[in-house]
C-alpha cells in the first residue's frame, strides 16, 4: 500500500466533503460515533500531524511499540520531538504536503485548523483520515478498555488508576493526557489485558471505544462550539454510556449534577451503576478530607472495601480526593489489590502540568496547572489558597484557550480569577480557531471585580514574566494556568523574580 493511492476507496466519502470542514472548528462537525475504526494491520505507515502534543505523542509511542511505521510533523523542535525520534518516529519540523508522500493513514488532532494545507491534502488524497481516538482504538484493538471520562479530573484519575495497576504488577497499557512523574511517559503498550485510557469528550472522540468499565467524573458545559449546548453534551455522554458493556461497571460522582443526570440515564438503560462522593447516599463515601501542601488525605467507605484511609502524594486540593476515590473504586472492581494500590499512591509523583512546581525565585514560588475551564480555575485557585499560599498573596496568570470558549465563559472566568489577590490575563491561545472580532484576553480582565492595580491584562507573551516580577513580593505564590504555551513561561517568571527580588524569602 502506498501513500496517496488514488485507487484506494475513501473510508467514508460523504463524511469528508469539503463543506463539512469549511468553518473554523468544523473538523468536529461529524459525530465521532460514525467513525470507522480500521484493523491495526490496515493502518500501514501512519503520519501524525502535531505528533508531539500530549495526546498524539502517546499514540505515536503505542503505534511504534506495535511495530507500525510512524512519521509526523511539529511546528518546532522540542524534547518531545527528540524523544519520539529516538523511539523511531520520522518527525519533520514544519508542515508540508510532501510529508504525505509515503503515508498510508493520516491522523489529526482537532487542535489543527482544518484549512491547513497538509490537512486539506490528506483529505483529498483518498487515504484514511482518522481522529486520534480511532487510531488509538485500532492500536489497542486486543485490549480491554477502561475509560475515564468527564469534564474535569480525567488525567488525575487515569494516572492514579494506572499507577495502582502497575503496583499490582498488572502492566496495563495506558494513554493519559499528561506525563507521569513515575515513568516520564504519557502512554505505554503493556503486556496485560487492560488498556486504561483518558476518554476525551471535547470532539466526541470518547465514542470510539467500547469499554468494559468506565468512570464519569463530572459533566459540565464545555466545548460548546462542538456540542452546541449542555443538552448536546448530555447526549454525547449518553452515547458514551451506551458503549459501556452492560455487565461492566459505570462509576459516577454523586456530588456532580451532570454526572447524576447521566447516571440516571445509565440506570434506565440497564447499566450497572455505582456512585462516589462526599454527600449522603454515595456507594463509596468520602469523609475526613484533609488538604496538605504536598498531599491529600481522606477516608473511603464502600461495599467490599470497608473503610480505607488514603493518602495521595503530590495532589493539592480537596477535589483531588474525589478523583482518587474514583480510581480506588475502579481498582476494587478490576480485582486489584487495594492495599497495594493505596500504598503506591502515598509516594505518587503527580502528573506534569497538574500543580507542577517550577521552583522559587526571589522568595516567589512558581507553579503551573492545566486548569482551563472556569470550574477548574476556581478549584485550582481555591486549593492553592488553602494548601499552599496560606496568608501570602496568590498571583494567578491565565492564558485563555480558544476565542469561542473565551466568548462563552468570559464572566465565569472573571469570577474564578477573583479568587486570586492579583489576576493576570494573557491574550488568547487560539488552537485551531480563527479570531472572533472583539474577543481578546481583555474580554475577561475587564470583568474582574478588583481594584485596577490588582488586574493586569498583558497581550504580549514575552512581556508577562517582567510584568509579574514588577508586582511580586517574597512569599507570593504564582500559578500559571491554561491549555496553551503559558507553562513555558514558568522558568522565566521564576528567574525574573530572582533578578528583581534577589534572595528574598517568605
DSSP-assigned letter for residue 365: E
Q: Is 71 exposed, middle or buried (0-12, 13-18, 19+ CB in 10 A)?
A: buried
| Identified catalytic residue from 198, 376, 433, 498 | 198
pLDDT, one tens digit per residue, over 230-283 is 788 899 899 999 999 999 999 999 999 999 999 999 999 999 999 999 989 999
pLDDT on residue 221:
61
- Cα–Cα nearest to 271, from 296, 303, 239, 300: 239
Mean pLDDT of 283-307: 94
pLDDT on residue 152:
86
Gap between the Cα atoms of 122 and 3, Å rounded: 10
Gap between the Cα atoms of 139 and 299, Å rounded: 38
- Cα–Cα nearest to 24, from 406, 433, 428, 405: 433
Instruction: Name the pLDDT band for 328 (thresholds 50, 70, 90).
Output: very high
End-to-end CA gap in the chain: 63
pLDDT on residue 12:
34
The share of the chain scoring above pLDDT 70, in percent, equals 90
Residue 31 scores a pLDDT above 80: no
For the CA atoms of the chain, what is the radius of gyration? 22
SS3 state at 103: coil
pLDDT, one tens digit per residue, over 40-62 is 999 999 999 999 988 899 999 99
SS3 state at 387: helix
Q: Please give the grid coordinates belonging to residue 447.
A: 470583568
pLDDT on residue 7:
26
Residue 307 a catalytic site member:
no
Q: Is 146 exposed, middle or buried (0-12, 13-18, 19+ CB in 10 A)?
A: buried
| Identified catalytic residue from 154, 356, 375, 443 | 154
**Which contacts qualify for 300-304: CB closer than 8 Å, 24 or more apart?**
300/276, 300/325, 300/328, 300/329, 302/276, 302/329, 302/332, 304/332
Gap between the Cα atoms of 104 and 109, Å rounded: 17
Residue 22 scores a pLDDT above 50: no
Q: Please give the grid coordinates belonging to residue 252.
A: 459516577
pLDDT, one tens digit per residue, over 152-193 is 888 899 999 999 999 999 999 999 877 776 666 889 999 999
The packing angle between helices 403-417 and 374-383, to 10°, is 30
Cell 466526541 belongs to residue: 204
| Identified catalytic residue from 105, 109, 110, 155 | 155
Q: Which run of H or E residues covers position 54?
A: helix 54-65
Cell 484493523 belongs to residue: 39
Chain-centre distance of CA 186, in angstroms? 11
For the chain, the 3-state helix, strand and coil shares in percent, each to the nearest 5, are 40, 25, 40
pLDDT on residue 225:
61
pLDDT on residue 14:
30
Instruction: Name the pLDDT band for 203 (thresholds 50, 70, 90).
Output: low
pLDDT on residue 32:
73
Q: Which residues contact 42 (CB under 8 A, 6 or more apart)?
A: none
Q: Which domains does the chain have, with CATH numbers?
A: 13-132 (3.40.50.720), 143-346 (3.40.1190.10), 356-501 (3.90.190.20)
Instruction: Name the pLDDT band for 17 (thresholds 50, 70, 90).
Output: very low
pLDDT, one tens digit per residue, over 80-102 is 899 999 999 999 999 999 999 99
Residue 407 scores a pLDDT above 70: yes
Q: Which residues contact 353 (CB under 8 A, 6 or more apart)?
A: 178, 368, 369, 370, 487
Residue 114 scores a pLDDT above 80: yes
Identify each DSSP E strand in 254-382 by its residue range. Answer: 272-277, 284-292, 295-302, 306-313, 356-361, 364-369
Q: Which residues contact 204 (CB under 8 A, 6 or more apart)?
A: 28, 31, 32, 33, 226, 227, 236, 239
Q: Please give the grid coordinates belonging to residue 72.
A: 509526523
DSSP-assigned letter for residue 6: T
Compute the C-alpha angle 80/82/84, nearest 5°: 70
Reported pTM: 0.81
Residue 466 a catalytic site member:
no
Residues facing 291 on adjacent strands: 296
Are 259 and 219 in contact, with CB atoms under 8 Å apart?
Answer: yes
Identify each DSSP E strand in 13-154 by its residue range. Answer: 46-49, 70-74, 90-93, 105-108, 129-131, 144-149
Mean of pLDDT over the chain: 88
* Phi–psi pair at 175, nearest 5 degrees: -140, 115
Task: Please state whether beta strands 394-398 and 356-361 pair in parallel, antiparallel, or not at all (unpaired).
Answer: unpaired
Residue 19 scores a pLDDT above 70: no
Q: Please give the grid coordinates belonging to residue 390.
A: 496560606
The share of the chain scoring above pLDDT 90, in percent, equals 67
Instruction: Name the pLDDT band for 391 (thresholds 50, 70, 90).
Output: confident
Give the CA dihedral 39, 45, 48, 54, nearest 10 degrees: 70
pLDDT on residue 29:
41
Residue 458 a catalytic site member:
no
Of residues 206 and 446, more confidently modeled: 446
Amino acid at each position: 500500500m502506498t501513500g496517496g493511492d488514488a485507487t484506494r476507496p475513501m473510508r467514508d466519502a460523504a463524511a469528508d466533503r469539503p463543506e463539512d470542514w469549511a468553518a473554523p472548528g468544523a473538523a468536529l462537525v461529524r459525530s465521532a460515533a460514525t467513525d470507522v475504526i480500521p484493523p491495526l494491520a490496515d493502518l500501514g505507515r501512519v503520519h501524525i500531524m502535531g505528533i508531539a502534543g500530549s495526546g498524539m505523542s502517546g499514540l505515536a509511542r503505542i503505534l511504534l511499540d506495535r511495530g507500525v511505521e510512524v512519521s509526523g510533523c511539529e511546528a518546532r523542535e522540542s524534547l518531545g520531538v527528540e524523544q519520539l525520534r529516538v523511539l523511531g518516529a520520522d518527525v519533520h519540523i514544519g508542515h508540508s504536503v510532501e510529508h504525505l508522500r509515503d503515508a498510508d493513514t493520516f491522523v489529526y488532532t482537532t487542535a489543527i485548523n482544518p484549512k491547513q494545507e497538509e490537512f486539506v491534502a490528506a483529505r483529498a488524497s483518498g487515504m484514511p483520515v482518522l481522529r486520534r481516538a480511532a487510531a488509538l482504538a485500532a492500536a489497542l484493538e486486543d485490549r480491554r478498555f477502561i475509560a475515564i471520562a468527564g469534564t474535569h479530573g480525567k488525567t488525575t484519575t487515569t494516572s492514579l488508576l494506572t499507577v495502582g495497576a502497575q503496583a499490582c504488577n498488572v502492566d496495563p497499557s495506558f494513554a493519559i493526557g499528561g506525563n507521569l512523574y513515575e515513568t516520564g511517559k504519557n502512554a505505554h503498550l503493556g503486556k496485560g489485558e487492560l488498556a486504561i485510557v483518558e476518554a476525551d469528550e471535547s470532539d466526541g472522540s470518547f465514542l470510539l471505544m467500547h469499554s468494559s468499565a468506565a468512570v464519569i467524573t463530572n459533566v459540565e458545559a464545555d466545548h460548546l462550539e462542538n456540542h452546541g449546548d449542555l443538552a448536546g453534551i448530555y447526549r454525547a455522554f449518553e452515547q458514551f454510556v451506551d458503549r459501556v458493556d452492560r455487565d461492566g461497571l459505570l462509576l459516577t460522582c454523586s456530588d456532580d449534577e451532570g454526572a447524576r443526570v447521566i447516571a440516571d440515564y445509565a440506570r434506565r438503560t440497564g447499566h450497572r451503576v455505582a456512585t462516589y462522593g462526599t454527600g449522603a447516599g454515595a456507594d463509596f463515601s468520602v469523609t475526613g478530607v484533609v488538604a496538605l501542601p504536598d498531599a491529600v488525605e481522606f477516608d473511603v467507605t464502600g461495599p467490599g472495601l470497608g473503610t480505607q484511609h488514603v493518602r495521595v502524594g503530590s495532589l493539592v486540593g480537596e477535589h483531588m480526593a474525589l478523583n482518587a476515590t474514583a480510581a480506588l473504586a475502579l481498582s476494587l472492581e478490576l480485582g486489584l489489590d487495594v492495599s497495594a494500590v493505596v500504598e503506591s499512591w502515598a509516594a505518587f509523583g503527580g502528573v506534569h502540568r497538574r500543580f507542577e512546581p517550577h521552583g522559587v525565585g526571589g522568595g516567589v514560588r512558581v507553579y503551573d496547572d492545566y486548569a482551563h475551564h472556569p470550574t477548574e480555575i476556581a478549584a485550582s485557585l481555591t486549593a492553592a489558597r488553602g494548601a499552599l499560599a496560606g496568608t501570602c498573596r496568590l498571583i494567578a496568570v491565565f492564558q485563555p484557550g480558544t476565542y469561542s470558549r473565551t466568548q462563552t465563559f468570559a464572566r465565569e472566568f472573571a469570577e474564578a480569577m477573583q479568587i486570586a489577590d492579583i489576576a493576570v490575563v494573557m491574550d488568547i491561545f487560539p488552537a485551531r480557531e480563527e479570531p472572533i472580532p472583539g474577543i481578546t484576553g481583555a474580554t475577561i480582565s475587564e470583568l474582574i471585580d478588583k481594584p485596577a492595580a490588582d488586574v493586569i491584562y498583558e497581550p504580549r507573551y514575552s512581556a508577562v514574566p517582567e510584568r509579574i516580577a514588577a508586582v511580586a513580593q517574597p512569599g507570593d505564590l504564582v500559578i500559571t494556568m491554561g491549555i496553551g504555551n503559558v507553562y513555558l513561561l514558568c522558568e522565566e517568571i521564576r528567574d525574573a523574580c530572582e533578578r528583581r527580588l534577589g534572595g528574598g524569602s517568605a
